[in-house]
Structure 1
Amino acid sequence: MITRAEGAYLGAVRAFQNPMLDLLHKRHAPLVVSVLSLVFTADRPQVPVADAHTEVGDALDQLRAAGHGDDLPVGSARDLCRQWADAGWLARQVLEDDVEVYSLSAHAVGALEVAGRAGGTRARVSQSRVRTLLDAVERLAEDADPDAMMRIARLDAEIARLRAELDRVQRTGEVEQTDEETLLEEAENVLHLVRELPADFARVAESIKAMQRDVVQALRQDERPTGEVLREYLERGEHVMDATPEGRAFAGALRLIGDPQRLDALATQLSTVLRHRFTRRLPHQQRAELRDIGRRIEQGLDQVFTAQREASFVITAQVRNHDPLRDRQVDELLRDVMTGLQTWVPGARRGQAVDPLRRLPVAEVEHLRQTAGDLRPAEPPSPLAAWEDDDSDSSAAEALAWGGPHYADLGSHLAAFAGASGTVDVGQAFNAAPEALRRPVDLLGLLEIAHQRGMTETDEVAYVDAVRPDGTRRRFAFGGVTTLTKDEDDD
């Protein structure tokens, strides 16, 4: 029989086997946390492998130069990143453009959040935190209570409270001011809630990748029909948002981001908060976190959507190219290679030479074809069709009429239209040009000339009528501009 002390100890042992706690428990945990937080940021969740090795190496050199060499692990940046990936702190994947990148695993994100909270502002028992707890309990009780009369009574009480507050504000015209200490506590509570989101999003994305691996493995084993495996995958994908707390948090965020009004209201509310004078007492980092709440939600959603797209692509490719015999042969070959490595590595020495494979095994073929095929085609190719260039009805003049801008004629027209003045209105000059210089493409050419000579925008809207070579007309509107009649460098 297991005693209470032994049960608690075994539970703690299992907890510390989690890669997140294992990261924080290691001797070099400060190095891992600091380097990962430098390389991976909210704006840069994925880093190319080569760049990550370079940045980690630069960080190690800087720490050694500062006198912390005795506290650093032995090995190159490549070796450390490989160790961190094997420990489950870094995830390594290949993107669609064949670029191999590192990204933080959900365990590493959680460890960084824990370290950040421990080294930052300490969480306090405040009015905001207690109110959040009481509101959550009240909402839980309302959702769990099926009594309609109790729900009606609570709604009546809430309506009466809101009506009394409305009457008071209408009568006095004053809003109760909240002191800055309370506002600071509420802001810290909001930041505490926001810091939990990245790890939740990462866990949802990793659950989708785990589901992808399970489906691909089931397809490769070929023990069940493909349709049954895909049906199970679709069912798991449909309920992945309800199966875990992280999935439910993601579903809530998806509902928020899917409603433009809610998103606009969030941006407006954050702007109102940041304009208040109490935010001056917040550190710059906390103000930046408040400002980026909406962007962090969008980044988390994009992370999950990317995992869903990659899972669908991998599974689709597996179904389309699924060959049970070939997959089984590949699995057997890899298993033989791993068995050979496990046999050779324990007795091998560092730097020991490996005998190369000088010749491939001879294939056991019972019979080979003895006659070569005829490389000549059975029939000659069909003759090319005749191409008569002279049958075209279009002339060179018509082709030029539909061509690009007449820059030389446009420049001469600008100079003639301006006369003695040094500047000219582009819209007026275009409307005064002959029809041959009033094509839509000539308007673009005129604006290009104005840009090269230096143009000045006006507050008016210019309207011009362009004429195509076939006689059709088109009216354009653009911000009015004036330009010089010649380049300033020509003066």
Structure 2
Amino acid sequence: MLDLLHRRYAPLVVSLLSLVFTPERPTVPVAEAHTEIGDALDQLRARGYEHHADGTRAIPLGTARELCRQWADVGWLKRQIVDGDVEVYQLSAHAVGALEVAGRAGGARARISQSRVRTLLDAVEQLAQDADPDVLVRMSRLDAQVRRLQDELARLQRTGTVEEVGDDVLLEEAENVLHLVRELPADFARVAESLRAMQRDVVTALRQDERPSGDVLREYLERGQQVMESTPEGRAFSGALRLIGDPQRIDELSDQLDVVLRHRFTSRLPRQQRAELRDVARRIEQGVAEVIKAQRQASHVIATQVRNHDPLRDRQVDELLREVMVGLQAWVPTTRRGQDVDPVRRLPVAEVAHLRQTTSTLRDPEPPAPLEAWDDGDDDGDTEPDGVAREWGGPHYAELREHLAAYAGPSGEADLAAAFGAAPERIRRPVDLLGLLEIAHRDGMEETGRVALVEAVRPDGSRRRFAFEGVTVRTHGRHEKDGTDHE
């Protein structure tokens, strides 16, 4: 991590990676990363930041693709395949630590406070309790703790008041919490990288085949099943997971953070620190999910290698590659351009099952055959199939408008509920009530302030009652056909 921070262009790299990789986006597709970093470099060059005041370069030469490749080589970035075929960039554990160091250096300065000292004393006290096996000492400490809690409970019951803590003290405690939270991403990243390194070691040992196959397969299969217990980081994470892996504990943490953020002292915190407090639970969940994902991937790769491990085939491949390299080293220095190359006869031949022998036809596709007449088996035979579908369809706008105009008469005004109640049952469906309200809204309506009740009839004969605010509608000058007739 310190080696990365001491490199020549470390300030630029830290700034760009902080923009591209965020807690909400820990992995970025390779193409998107190249595009975003390239845009950022172009903006810096356009504003004249390509050189320092002393004439030295502030931005390295090369495209964003070349810079990302260099950062991957030195350890800033890691490339991996996700979802089968998507190649992404991810910050290495050292890069996460470097960004955290840079963030702390640019933020509020850590200082000795009551909260930080209390955290230290509580940690030492817990360490002493775990290290001391004396039962009597443990019992005396628990008795003293119970007495303190009982005294506090009695005081609350007697006075009914809680001693308020000053805003300055609360600010110190919040800064201490943020200081502890900033260490988590780097810790989670180190655990995930340790799991991936163990995966590579296991696969390499399996391919070398230096021990009997049975012993190797049995030992590494067990190690793959218990991958979290095979490294110091994994064991430490397993212990932490037992504390924070409980969903109820995460929910309690979110509720406690909500209580803190509602307090008045948080208004004195910068917006960035308030956002960090709000995202504590989510960042913990993301870190745990990242480690579990690395664990599952390591177990899958190891199990796949165990199932497909074939020492004879691997040895043949190694011998073929070695023969090809030796042949190239002997052939290249003594050849000329255009000279024929003798093939390596031992390379396996591709097994092709079948090749297409004809091309596809160039004729236009023929239209589909017409649909055949189909009898739906209607017993009564009174209603056509399309008629049944129409009765269950949308409003009959044209008939509704004609009925409304006839009901209004010469005055041109009508009560909508009364007009609907006087309509024939064929246009007194629930959907026709909605169509009548839509026509009234377009023609101009006035609310009466009273509740209107109507009874609608469905095509199957069932009835439904509806209540709505009564309206009167004017039909003068509105006899033209509705352009949205859906019959």
TM-score of the two chains, using structure 1 as the length reference: 0.69
2:274 equivalent in structure 1? 287
CA-based RMSD of the aligned residues comes to 5.0
**Larger Cα-atom Rg:** 2
Match of 1:46 among 23, 27, 33: 27
Amino acid at match of 2:170: L
Give 5+ residue unaligned stretches, structure 2.
52-56, 348-373, 405-413, 443-457, 463-467, 474-480
1:71 aligns to what SS in structure 2?
Answer: coil
Distance in 2 between residues matched to 1:362 and 1:344, nearest whole Å: 12
Q: Are residues 1:238 and 2:226 paired? A: yes
**Identity among equivalent pairs (%):** 57
CA-CA distance at 1:75 after TM superposition:
1.9
Deviation readout 1:41-86 (Å, 9 max, x if unpaired)? 1011111111111111112222222323321222221111111111
1:316 equivalent in structure 2? 303
Cα separation, partners in 2 of 1:339 and 1:422, compared to 1, 3 Å: farther
1:9 equivalent in structure 2? none
Query: Is the 1:93–1:100 contact (alpha carbons within 8 Å) kept by the matching residues of 2?
Result: yes
Match of 1:63 among 41, 44, 56: 44
CA-CA distance at 1:140 after TM superposition:
0.5
CA-CA distance at 1:216 after TM superposition:
1.6
Match of 2:312 among 320, 325, 330: 325
Distance in 2 between residues matched to 1:237 and 1:143, nearest whole Å: 30
Distance in 2 between residues matched to 1:356 and 1:79, nearest whole Å: 32
Query: Is the 2:224–2:298 contact (alpha carbons within 8 Å) kept by the matching residues of 1?
Result: no
Deviation readout 1:211-263 (Å, 9 max, x if unpaired)? 21122222222334256435335346536358425642454245423232x22
Distance in 2 between residues matched to 1:275 and 1:102, nearest whole Å: 37
1:73 equivalent in structure 2? 60
1:56 aligns to what SS in structure 2?
Answer: helix
Match of 2:395 among 395, 408, 411: 411
CA-CA distance at 1:327 after TM superposition:
2.4
Query: Is the 1:201–1:246 contact (alpha carbons within 8 Å) kept by the matching residues of 2?
Result: no
1:93 aligns to what SS in structure 2?
Answer: strand
Amino acid at match of 1:219: L
CA-CA distance at 1:298 after TM superposition:
1.1
2:240 equivalent in structure 1? 252
CA-CA distance at 1:340 after TM superposition:
9.1
1:372 equivalent in structure 2? none
2:364 equivalent in structure 1? none
1:204 equivalent in structure 2? 191
1:190 aligns to what SS in structure 2?
Answer: helix
1:135 equivalent in structure 2? 122
Deviation readout 1:297-345 (Å, 9 max, x if unpaired)? 1111111122122223323332333332332344455567788999999
Cα separation, partners in 2 of 1:322 and 1:238, compared to 1, 3 Å: closer
Match of 2:286 among 299, 303, 306: 299
Which shifted more, 213-222 or 91-100? 213-222
CA-CA distance at 1:288 after TM superposition:
0.3
Query: Is the 2:97–2:186 contact (alpha carbons within 8 Å) kept by the matching residues of 1?
Result: yes
Give 5+ residue unaligned stretches, structure 1.
1-19, 348-353, 366-391, 424-428, 455-466, 474-479
Distance in 2 between residues matched to 1:422 and 1:339, nearest whole Å: 95
CA-CA distance at 1:122 after TM superposition:
1.0
Query: Is the 2:398–2:482 contact (alpha carbons within 8 Å) kept by the matching residues of 1?
Result: no
**What are the residue-to-residue correspondences of 1:336-355 with 2, within 5 Å?**
none
Distance in 2 between residues matched to 1:199 and 1:343, nearest whole Å: 49
Which shifted more, 136-145 or 56-65? 56-65
Cα separation, partners in 2 of 1:158 and 1:218, compared to 1, 3 Å: same
CA-CA distance at 1:198 after TM superposition:
0.7
Distance in 1 between residues matched to 2:28 and 2:321, nearest whole Å: 29
Match of 2:12 among 22, 31, 34: 31
Amino acid at match of 1:130: V
TM-score of the two chains, using structure 2 as the length reference: 0.69
Distance in 2 between residues matched to 1:145 and 1:281, nearest whole Å: 42
Distance in 1 between residues matched to 2:289 and 2:87, nearest whole Å: 19
1:43 aligns to what SS in structure 2?
Answer: coil
Cα separation, partners in 2 of 1:62 and 1:144, compared to 1, 3 Å: same
Query: Is the 1:266–1:294 contact (alpha carbons within 8 Å) kept by the matching residues of 2?
Result: yes
2:363 equivalent in structure 1? none
Match of 1:168 among 135, 148, 155: 155
Distance in 1 between residues matched to 2:280 and 2:328, nearest whole Å: 49
Distance in 2 between residues matched to 1:174 and 1:243, nearest whole Å: 50
Distance in 2 between residues matched to 1:415 and 1:153, nearest whole Å: 91
1:409 aligns to what SS in structure 2?
Answer: coil
Distance in 2 between residues matched to 1:344 and 1:280, nearest whole Å: 74
CA-CA distance at 1:95 after TM superposition:
1.2
1:114 equivalent in structure 2? 101
CA-CA distance at 1:422 after TM superposition:
6.5
